[in-house]
Amino acid sequence: MAASVQGGRIGNLPAEANAFVGRRLELAEIAGLLGAERLVTLTGPGGVGKSRLALRAAHAARAGFPGGAWLVELSELRDPDLLTNTVAQATRLTEQTLRPLLQAVCEHLSGAPVLLVLDTCEHVLDECARIAQELLASVPELRILATSRQPLGVPGEHLLTVAPLPLGERDDAVALFTARAAAAVPSFALTDANRAHVAAVCARLDGIPLALELAAVRLRGFSLHRLLEGLDSRFDLLVSPARPRLARHQTLRTAIGWSHELCTPLERLLWARLSVFTGGWDVEAAEFVCHGGPLDAEEILALLASLTEKSIVTRDDEGAAVRYRMLDTVRSFGAEWLTGLGEAEAVRSRHRDYFRWIARQGEAEWLGPGQRMWAERLTAEHANLRLAIEECMTAREPETALELTGTLWFFWFACGFAEEGRTYLERALRRARAGGGPEHTLAVWAHRLVTVVADDLEAAESVSAAYVWLAEERRLPVPALPLTGASLAVRGESARSAVLYGSVRQAPAGDGGAEFFQLLTLAVQAYLLAGQAAFERCAAVAERLRAECAKRGELWMGAWGDFFVSLAGIGLGHPDEAVLPAREALAAKWRVHDRIGAAAVTDLLVVAQASRGEEELAARLLGISRRLWHAAGLPQLGRPDLSVFHREYERRLRAALGDACFTEAVRKGRELGPDAALALALGDTADAPGP
């Protein structure tokens, strides 16, 4: 599904952390350019405010883009090959697709005017240029607003250079410094008595917004006069007689360096070590990765609080866990300092090892009550997982990359990152070359698992074969091979899949892969029984699956149990009883980001609501279902013969509602953002059609 809804508008633009100051002329120019040009790139040095200006302009313009205003943050991306995946994830496109991903993104963004903000392109410039050109050629309604320290170089690109803020006493630089100083020290106010000093501070910092914000925070410990003196003495040390005025990039680095000097030695050390993170971190990660030498793990929380007060680190309390992050320019300074200390390799290794441990913990606890927590935690740590994988790829021992990418099978398979998982697993397997060993077997199995779809019979059977190898390597019991049975059923040879009806043996505690396949055996049994119209037996097997999952507190596979209970209810002629388990399945699939599972469950709700006489609601749900399946690039469950489902229910609902009412209801459902669509399907919205 394409969108999220914020205040009635579609997109993913984050709320602005504080008041936007100034830039009226630039905002007006960007607004005009977005109406006339298809690619607008804001260029300028680091710290000049390109990203913040682009976000403010996107917020101002989003009402004119009914297809959505989408922010794609690229500063955390290290591998250019994953740029398309990053765009897909930012625009809420599932990666579970059979089509080339860039083609799927193009189709996903088509249909209505849409704004894409590509933020911080300079370190993946060539790939940004290639993808921007492809998107613009394929999506006529698309506008792109990019930020970069240098142009993308794409034909038709319109450049707008973002300059530092104007420096007069009544201009934007003074206004920004005043606003941030008042936020840091509530008693601060701009007066006739201090206006000249504020203007002098702004001039000393060349009107660069990041430098102004860092300096404003210093007023917590300095008077305005002392702040100006400190800047003067610090800058004078760096000015050579041949260069009476600092270049702007040197001004920013000097401002950051001055903030660095005002930190305690332990704060500086933590700042440097934190620079290895990308996409943020939590306290546990900081304690593990950054402790050592003079820095005790027990001190890190207090030091984080101190760095937050100094605006070196920002704190995010919006999610379930408190997370921290640094601006790119500040992180780059810390990374240089870490290299100078000679610690870069050691701290990167600890970062890698921490996220290897996190992956192993996630696998061990995936089939348990913490499944939703793990889905959300690993999604939040996505950028750090990528970085850890990249570090493993450069390690001397290729087994580390095989182990990490293979251990994350559940994240790739169940959380919507299948294509990225395939990319990493293929790279790890190519690098390892020679087979052998449990890590290689695990990676082969994981690769085949994330590659399989229901109409790829060869891949389905290879997953089962790979699991046999994995079980032998780990000395696990080998359950029946469900995916082989499923592939035989697709071929119409369900009699040969009777092996699936054997008992499910208990796997050793803590091995996620073994337990997962045992539960999958029950799911496929229910699937085959439903295909034979043996609905009472299907319901019995599905109830066993639900019970096994309930013991573990498992959501993802348990939702398939709810799915088959609902399907059996429909098959037995009890649609009223089918609605609740279908809704429970949908809620669970949504929580763990399984959008294909959500699409399959939505189809069930179409049938159930139509059978209950809720034709208009069923038609809206049909629109939601179509959007989900289209985003995945799959007919239902990958089987072309099942596409008759949508044709049949279109015929029935069109006959019941009339052409105009049916078409309008489907359109409304298809255009809903994910939050509104989920609420409608779960019956949690006053907008749902009445009986």
Q: Can you read off the two tokens belonging to residue 249?
A: 């990039």
Q: Comparing 606 with 496, which gets the higher pLDDT? A: 606
The mean per-residue pLDDT over the stretch 268-280 comes to 93
| Tens digits of residue pLDDT in 355-387 | 999 999 998 888 778 888 888 899 889 999 999
The reported pLDDT for the residue numbered 439 is 83
Q: Which of 5-19, 110-124, 297-311 has the lowest mean pLDDT?
A: 5-19
The reported pLDDT for the residue numbered 127 is 93
The reported pLDDT for the residue numbered 63 is 87
The mean per-residue pLDDT over the stretch 7-25 comes to 77
Beta strands 69-73 and 114-119 are parallel
The reported pLDDT for the residue numbered 450 is 76
Q: Comparing 503 with 45, which gets the higher pLDDT? A: 45
Highest-confidence segment of 78-82, 337-341, 445-449: 337-341
Task: Find tokens 């709810």 and name the residue.
Answer: 562
Task: Find tokens 């496929």 and name the residue.
Answer: 524
The CA-atom distances, in angstroms, between 564 and each of 536, 587, 601, 602 are 11, 15, 10, 13
The reported pLDDT for the residue numbered 447 is 83
3-class secondary structure, 325: strand
Categorize the per-residue pLDDT at 646 as very low, low, confident or very high, splitting at 50, 70 and 90: low
Q: Give the list of residues 6+ apart from residue 456 with CB closer than 8 angstroms, or none.
A: 638
The CA-atom distances, in angstroms, between 591 and each of 21, 520, 585, 587 are 38, 19, 10, 6
The reported pLDDT for the residue numbered 359 is 93
The mean per-residue pLDDT over the stretch 237-262 comes to 60
Could you tell me the maximum CA-CA distance found in the chain, to the nearest angstrom? 91
Other Cβ atoms less than 10 A from the Cβ of 88: the count is 25
The reported pLDDT for the residue numbered 319 is 62
The CA-atom distances, in angstroms, between 106 and each of 9, 634, 668 are 21, 16, 22
The reported pLDDT for the residue numbered 524 is 76
Residue 651: is it exposed, middle or buried by C-beta count within 10 angstroms (0-12/13-18/19+)?
A: exposed
Alpha carbon distance 112, 69 (integer Å):
11
The reported pLDDT for the residue numbered 115 is 93
The mean per-residue pLDDT over the stretch 153-174 comes to 87
Residue 654: is it exposed, middle or buried by C-beta count within 10 angstroms (0-12/13-18/19+)?
A: middle
Indicate if the pLDDT at residue 125 is higher than 50.
yes
Beta bridge partners of 148: 43
The reported pLDDT for the residue numbered 672 is 82
Alpha carbon distance 348, 52 (integer Å):
30
Q: Which of 64-68, 152-156, 336-340, 675-679 has the lowest mean pLDDT?
A: 675-679
Other Cβ atoms less than 10 A from the Cβ of 552: the count is 17
Alpha carbon distance 457, 438 (integer Å):
25
Percent of the chain surpassing pLDDT 70: 81
Indicate if the pLDDT at residue 463 is higher than 60.
no
The reported pLDDT for the residue numbered 270 is 95
Mean pLDDT of the chain: 79
| pTM of the entire predicted model | 0.72
Residue 679: is it exposed, middle or buried by C-beta count within 10 angstroms (0-12/13-18/19+)?
A: middle
Q: Comparing 631 with 228, which gets the higher pLDDT? A: 228
Q: Write out the H or E segment, with its range, that includes residue 43.
A: strand 39-43
| Best CA proximity match to 524, nearest among 502, 550, 553 | 502
Categorize the per-residue pLDDT at 492 as very low, low, confident or very high, splitting at 50, 70 and 90: very low
DSSP 8-state secondary structure symbol assigned to residue 63: G
The mean per-residue pLDDT over the stretch 444-455 comes to 67
The reported pLDDT for the residue numbered 367 is 78
400-430: burial string, b at 16+ Cβ within 10 Å, e else? bbbbbbbbbbbbbbbbbbbbbbbbbbebbbe
| Best CA proximity match to 424, nearest among 405, 450, 439, 400 | 405
The CA-atom distances, in angstroms, between 503 and each of 530, 544, 689 are 19, 11, 45
Q: Comparing 42 with 11, which gets the higher pLDDT? A: 42
Three-state SS letters, 475-501: CCCCCCCHHHHHHHHHCCCHHHHHHHH
3-class secondary structure, 159: strand
| Best CA proximity match to 379, nearest among 142, 132, 106, 92 | 92
Highest-confidence segment of 457-461, 651-655, 662-666: 662-666
Categorize the per-residue pLDDT at 144 as very low, low, confident or very high, splitting at 50, 70 and 90: very high
Indicate if the pLDDT at residue 28 is higher than 70.
yes
The reported pLDDT for the residue numbered 435 is 66
The reported pLDDT for the residue numbered 632 is 56
| Tens digits of residue pLDDT in 185-240 | 888 888 888 888 888 888 888 888 888 888 888 888 788 888 887 776 655 443 44
In angstroms and rounded to an integer, the radius of gyration of the C-alpha atoms of the chain is: 28
| Tens digits of residue pLDDT in 55-83 | 999 999 988 898 889 999 998 888 888 89
Within 475-594, residue ranges assigned H as helices are 482-490, 512-531, 535-552, 556-571, 575-591
Task: Find tokens 């790279």 and name the residue.
Answer: 427
The reported pLDDT for the residue numbered 455 is 40
Highest-confidence segment of 6-10, 514-518, 554-558, 575-579: 575-579
